[in-house]
Amino acid sequence: MTNIADTIRQDLTEAIEKDKLVLPTLPEAALQVREIAESEDAAIPDLVEVVSRDTALSARIIRVCNSPLFRGSRQIENINMAVSRLGMDYTSNLAMGLAMEQMFQATSDMVDKRLRETWQSSTEIAGIAYVLAHHYTNLQPDQATLAGLVHLIGVLPVLRYVEDKEVQISNIMLDKVIDDLHPRIGAKILESWDFPEDIQRVPLDYTNFTREVPKADLADVVTVAHLQHVVDSEHAHAEVDWHTVKAFERLGLDPDRDTSDEEDLNAEMEAAMALLQ
Protein backbone atom coordinates (compact mmCIF):
# COMPACT_ATOMS: atom_id res chain seq x y z
CA MET A 1 0.00 0.00 0.00
CA THR A 2 2.90 2.32 0.78
CA ASN A 3 4.30 1.73 -2.71
CA ILE A 4 1.01 2.84 -4.23
CA ALA A 5 1.08 6.05 -2.19
CA ASP A 6 4.71 6.68 -3.19
CA THR A 7 3.82 6.13 -6.85
CA ILE A 8 1.02 8.70 -6.67
CA ARG A 9 3.33 11.20 -4.98
CA GLN A 10 6.11 10.59 -7.49
CA ASP A 11 3.89 10.81 -10.56
CA LEU A 12 2.10 13.99 -9.47
CA THR A 13 5.26 15.67 -8.14
CA GLU A 14 7.05 14.94 -11.42
CA ALA A 15 4.08 16.33 -13.36
CA ILE A 16 4.19 19.52 -11.28
CA GLU A 17 7.94 19.98 -11.69
CA LYS A 18 7.79 19.39 -15.45
CA ASP A 19 4.74 21.63 -15.72
CA LYS A 20 2.74 18.74 -17.16
CA LEU A 21 0.09 18.47 -14.47
CA VAL A 22 -3.36 18.77 -16.03
CA LEU A 23 -5.05 21.49 -14.00
CA PRO A 24 -8.81 21.91 -13.75
CA THR A 25 -10.27 24.86 -15.64
CA LEU A 26 -12.46 27.43 -13.95
CA PRO A 27 -16.14 26.75 -14.74
CA GLU A 28 -17.62 28.91 -17.49
CA ALA A 29 -20.08 30.59 -15.12
CA ALA A 30 -17.21 31.61 -12.82
CA LEU A 31 -15.19 32.96 -15.74
CA GLN A 32 -18.10 35.06 -16.96
CA VAL A 33 -18.76 36.44 -13.48
CA ARG A 34 -15.11 37.35 -13.01
CA GLU A 35 -14.99 39.09 -16.39
CA ILE A 36 -17.90 41.29 -15.32
CA ALA A 37 -16.41 41.91 -11.88
CA GLU A 38 -13.08 43.03 -13.34
CA SER A 39 -14.62 45.32 -15.93
CA GLU A 40 -14.47 48.99 -14.95
CA ASP A 41 -17.63 49.71 -16.94
CA ALA A 42 -19.69 46.84 -15.53
CA ALA A 43 -22.80 47.53 -13.47
CA ILE A 44 -25.30 45.47 -11.51
CA PRO A 45 -27.49 44.70 -14.58
CA ASP A 46 -24.46 43.15 -16.31
CA LEU A 47 -23.78 40.84 -13.37
CA VAL A 48 -27.46 39.99 -13.05
CA GLU A 49 -27.56 39.01 -16.73
CA VAL A 50 -24.62 36.61 -16.34
CA VAL A 51 -25.74 35.02 -13.06
CA SER A 52 -29.34 34.63 -14.21
CA ARG A 53 -28.20 32.30 -17.00
CA ASP A 54 -27.57 29.66 -14.34
CA THR A 55 -30.90 29.12 -12.57
CA ALA A 56 -29.42 26.91 -9.85
CA LEU A 57 -26.71 29.47 -9.06
CA SER A 58 -29.27 32.28 -9.04
CA ALA A 59 -31.49 30.35 -6.63
CA ARG A 60 -28.60 29.76 -4.24
CA ILE A 61 -27.57 33.41 -4.23
CA ILE A 62 -31.16 34.43 -3.50
CA ARG A 63 -31.23 31.90 -0.65
CA VAL A 64 -28.00 33.33 0.76
CA CYS A 65 -29.48 36.81 0.56
CA ASN A 66 -32.56 35.71 2.51
CA SER A 67 -30.46 33.96 5.17
CA PRO A 68 -30.24 35.38 8.71
CA LEU A 69 -26.83 36.88 7.87
CA PHE A 70 -28.16 39.17 5.15
CA ARG A 71 -31.91 39.26 5.62
CA GLY A 72 -33.39 42.72 5.53
CA SER A 73 -36.87 43.98 6.12
CA ARG A 74 -37.92 42.87 2.65
CA GLN A 75 -37.92 39.33 1.25
CA ILE A 76 -35.64 38.94 -1.78
CA GLU A 77 -37.54 37.37 -4.65
CA ASN A 78 -35.23 37.67 -7.68
CA ILE A 79 -31.57 37.82 -8.58
CA ASN A 80 -31.67 41.54 -9.38
CA MET A 81 -32.82 42.32 -5.82
CA ALA A 82 -30.21 39.91 -4.45
CA VAL A 83 -27.29 41.50 -6.29
CA SER A 84 -28.50 44.94 -5.27
CA ARG A 85 -28.51 43.92 -1.62
CA LEU A 86 -25.26 41.94 -1.59
CA GLY A 87 -23.33 44.29 -3.87
CA MET A 88 -21.15 43.55 -6.89
CA ASP A 89 -18.06 42.36 -4.99
CA TYR A 90 -19.75 39.93 -2.63
CA THR A 91 -22.05 38.54 -5.34
CA SER A 92 -19.12 38.06 -7.72
CA ASN A 93 -16.94 36.20 -5.22
CA LEU A 94 -19.86 34.14 -3.94
CA ALA A 95 -20.94 33.21 -7.47
CA MET A 96 -17.40 32.26 -8.47
CA GLY A 97 -17.03 30.08 -5.39
CA LEU A 98 -20.40 28.37 -5.68
CA ALA A 99 -19.90 27.73 -9.40
CA MET A 100 -16.95 25.51 -8.48
CA GLU A 101 -19.18 22.96 -6.76
CA GLN A 102 -19.80 21.23 -10.11
CA MET A 103 -16.10 20.33 -10.18
CA PHE A 104 -16.40 18.25 -7.00
CA GLN A 105 -18.11 15.27 -8.61
CA ALA A 106 -16.87 12.01 -10.07
CA THR A 107 -18.12 8.78 -11.62
CA SER A 108 -16.33 6.50 -9.15
CA ASP A 109 -18.36 6.14 -5.96
CA MET A 110 -15.30 6.33 -3.70
CA VAL A 111 -13.83 9.39 -5.40
CA ASP A 112 -17.23 11.06 -5.69
CA LYS A 113 -17.77 10.60 -1.95
CA ARG A 114 -14.35 12.08 -1.17
CA LEU A 115 -14.92 15.04 -3.48
CA ARG A 116 -18.30 15.81 -1.96
CA GLU A 117 -16.82 15.59 1.55
CA THR A 118 -14.07 17.97 0.48
CA TRP A 119 -16.60 20.45 -0.88
CA GLN A 120 -18.68 20.24 2.29
CA SER A 121 -15.61 20.97 4.42
CA SER A 122 -14.71 23.85 2.12
CA THR A 123 -18.15 25.43 2.41
CA GLU A 124 -18.25 25.09 6.19
CA ILE A 125 -14.77 26.58 6.59
CA ALA A 126 -15.71 29.36 4.16
CA GLY A 127 -18.71 30.20 6.34
CA ILE A 128 -16.58 30.41 9.48
CA ALA A 129 -13.99 32.47 7.57
CA TYR A 130 -16.69 34.95 6.57
CA VAL A 131 -17.68 35.54 10.20
CA LEU A 132 -14.08 35.77 11.42
CA ALA A 133 -13.14 38.29 8.73
CA HIS A 134 -16.26 40.33 9.45
CA HIS A 135 -15.77 40.50 13.22
CA TYR A 136 -12.00 40.38 13.75
CA THR A 137 -10.24 41.85 10.70
CA ASN A 138 -10.36 44.63 8.17
CA LEU A 139 -10.30 42.05 5.40
CA GLN A 140 -13.22 41.79 3.00
CA PRO A 141 -15.57 39.00 4.17
CA ASP A 142 -16.37 38.09 0.56
CA GLN A 143 -12.66 37.49 -0.09
CA ALA A 144 -12.43 35.36 3.05
CA THR A 145 -15.43 33.34 1.86
CA LEU A 146 -13.80 32.71 -1.51
CA ALA A 147 -10.48 31.81 0.15
CA GLY A 148 -12.28 29.23 2.27
CA LEU A 149 -14.07 27.77 -0.73
CA VAL A 150 -10.84 27.25 -2.71
CA HIS A 151 -8.30 26.34 -0.01
CA LEU A 152 -8.74 22.61 -0.77
CA ILE A 153 -8.87 22.96 -4.56
CA GLY A 154 -5.59 21.03 -4.84
CA VAL A 155 -7.39 17.88 -3.73
CA LEU A 156 -9.07 17.68 -7.16
CA PRO A 157 -6.10 16.51 -9.29
CA VAL A 158 -5.07 13.96 -6.64
CA LEU A 159 -8.50 12.36 -6.62
CA ARG A 160 -8.77 12.62 -10.42
CA TYR A 161 -5.51 10.67 -10.63
CA VAL A 162 -6.90 7.99 -8.30
CA GLU A 163 -10.05 7.76 -10.39
CA ASP A 164 -8.35 7.75 -13.81
CA LYS A 165 -5.77 5.15 -12.78
CA GLU A 166 -8.36 3.12 -10.84
CA VAL A 167 -5.97 3.12 -7.87
CA GLN A 168 -6.85 0.90 -4.93
CA ILE A 169 -5.68 2.68 -1.79
CA SER A 170 -6.84 2.90 1.82
CA ASN A 171 -8.43 6.10 3.08
CA ILE A 172 -5.62 6.55 5.60
CA MET A 173 -2.91 6.40 2.94
CA LEU A 174 -4.93 8.58 0.59
CA ASP A 175 -5.32 11.19 3.33
CA LYS A 176 -1.54 11.29 3.75
CA VAL A 177 -0.97 11.68 0.02
CA ILE A 178 -3.57 14.47 -0.18
CA ASP A 179 -2.05 16.28 2.82
CA ASP A 180 1.38 16.09 1.20
CA LEU A 181 0.38 17.27 -2.25
CA HIS A 182 -2.75 19.41 -2.20
CA PRO A 183 -1.21 22.68 -0.91
CA ARG A 184 1.35 22.92 -3.71
CA ILE A 185 -1.13 21.80 -6.36
CA GLY A 186 -3.79 24.15 -5.01
CA ALA A 187 -1.48 27.16 -5.21
CA LYS A 188 -0.59 26.20 -8.78
CA ILE A 189 -4.27 25.93 -9.77
CA LEU A 190 -5.13 29.30 -8.27
CA GLU A 191 -2.14 30.87 -10.01
CA SER A 192 -3.29 29.39 -13.33
CA TRP A 193 -6.74 30.86 -12.66
CA ASP A 194 -5.11 34.25 -12.06
CA PHE A 195 -6.61 34.61 -8.59
CA PRO A 196 -5.25 37.40 -6.34
CA GLU A 197 -1.88 36.50 -4.83
CA ASP A 198 -3.18 36.55 -1.24
CA ILE A 199 -5.71 33.86 -2.20
CA GLN A 200 -3.14 31.91 -4.23
CA ARG A 201 -1.04 31.46 -1.09
CA VAL A 202 -3.84 30.23 1.16
CA PRO A 203 -3.43 26.50 0.31
CA LEU A 204 0.29 26.75 1.12
CA ASP A 205 0.01 28.88 4.25
CA TYR A 206 -3.15 27.90 6.12
CA THR A 207 -1.46 24.95 7.89
CA ASN A 208 1.79 26.81 8.54
CA PHE A 209 0.84 27.49 12.14
CA THR A 210 4.06 29.31 13.13
CA ARG A 211 4.10 31.58 10.07
CA GLU A 212 5.22 35.15 10.75
CA VAL A 213 3.62 38.00 8.79
CA PRO A 214 3.14 41.68 9.73
CA LYS A 215 -0.66 41.58 9.93
CA ALA A 216 -3.64 39.27 9.59
CA ASP A 217 -4.28 37.99 6.08
CA LEU A 218 -6.66 35.59 4.36
CA ALA A 219 -4.49 32.59 5.20
CA ASP A 220 -4.78 33.50 8.91
CA VAL A 221 -8.56 33.61 8.66
CA VAL A 222 -8.68 30.22 6.93
CA THR A 223 -6.20 28.81 9.48
CA VAL A 224 -8.42 29.70 12.42
CA ALA A 225 -11.58 28.66 10.56
CA HIS A 226 -9.98 25.30 9.74
CA LEU A 227 -8.91 24.67 13.34
CA GLN A 228 -12.34 25.58 14.66
CA HIS A 229 -13.91 23.29 12.08
CA VAL A 230 -11.84 20.22 13.04
CA VAL A 231 -11.71 20.81 16.80
CA ASP A 232 -14.04 17.95 17.75
CA SER A 233 -13.12 15.63 14.89
CA GLU A 234 -10.56 12.89 14.31
CA HIS A 235 -8.55 15.17 12.02
CA ALA A 236 -4.83 15.30 12.85
CA HIS A 237 -5.02 19.06 13.39
CA ALA A 238 -7.62 18.60 16.13
CA GLU A 239 -4.65 18.02 18.46
CA VAL A 240 -2.85 21.24 17.55
CA ASP A 241 -2.15 23.51 20.52
CA TRP A 242 -3.85 26.77 19.57
CA HIS A 243 -1.39 28.72 21.72
CA THR A 244 1.32 27.89 19.16
CA VAL A 245 -0.74 29.18 16.23
CA LYS A 246 0.30 32.73 15.36
CA ALA A 247 -2.89 33.43 13.41
CA PHE A 248 -4.94 33.68 16.62
CA GLU A 249 -2.74 36.50 17.87
CA ARG A 250 -2.93 38.41 14.58
CA LEU A 251 -6.73 38.11 14.60
CA GLY A 252 -6.82 39.27 18.21
CA LEU A 253 -8.41 36.01 19.35
CA ASP A 254 -7.74 34.36 22.68
CA PRO A 255 -6.97 30.65 22.01
CA ASP A 256 -8.55 29.80 25.37
CA ARG A 257 -11.81 31.48 24.50
CA ASP A 258 -14.43 29.05 23.23
CA THR A 259 -16.49 30.87 20.61
CA SER A 260 -19.14 28.16 20.95
CA ASP A 261 -19.99 29.68 24.32
CA GLU A 262 -20.78 33.01 22.66
CA GLU A 263 -24.33 32.42 21.60
CA ASP A 264 -24.69 35.18 19.03
CA LEU A 265 -21.32 34.54 17.35
CA ASN A 266 -21.82 30.79 17.35
CA ALA A 267 -25.27 31.18 15.81
CA GLU A 268 -23.82 33.44 13.12
CA MET A 269 -21.09 30.88 12.32
CA GLU A 270 -23.63 28.05 12.08
CA ALA A 271 -25.80 30.16 9.78
CA ALA A 272 -22.80 31.04 7.60
CA MET A 273 -21.76 27.40 7.37
CA ALA A 274 -25.26 26.27 6.44
CA LEU A 275 -26.02 28.93 3.85
CA LEU A 276 -23.31 27.72 1.45
CA GLN A 277 -24.41 24.08 1.56
* Helix 79-86 / helix 55-65 crossing angle, nearest 10 deg: 50
Question: Above 80 in pLDDT, residue 249?
Answer: yes
**79-91 pLDDT, tens digit each:** 999 888 888 888 8
Among 36, 47, 34, CA closest to 96: 34
What is residue 21's DSSP assignment?
Answer: -
Q: pLDDT tens digit string along 79-125? A: 999 888 888 888 888 888 888 888 898 888 989 999 999 999 999 99
Share of the chain above pLDDT 70, in %: 92
SS3 assignment, position 20: coil
Query: Domain locations in the chain?
Result: 2-21+105-275
Q: Where are the alpha helices (DSSP H) in 18-87?
A: 28-38, 44-51, 55-65, 79-86
pTM (2 d.p.): 0.88
Domain made up of 2-21+105-275: CATH architecture? Orthogonal Bundle (1.10)
What's the whole-number average pLDDT of the chain? 88
Q: What are phi and psi of 235, to 5 degrees?
A: -60, 145
Worst-scoring range by mean pLDDT, 53-67, 133-147, 236-250? Answer: 53-67
pLDDT score recorded for residue 76: 87
Residue 24 has what DSSP assignment? P
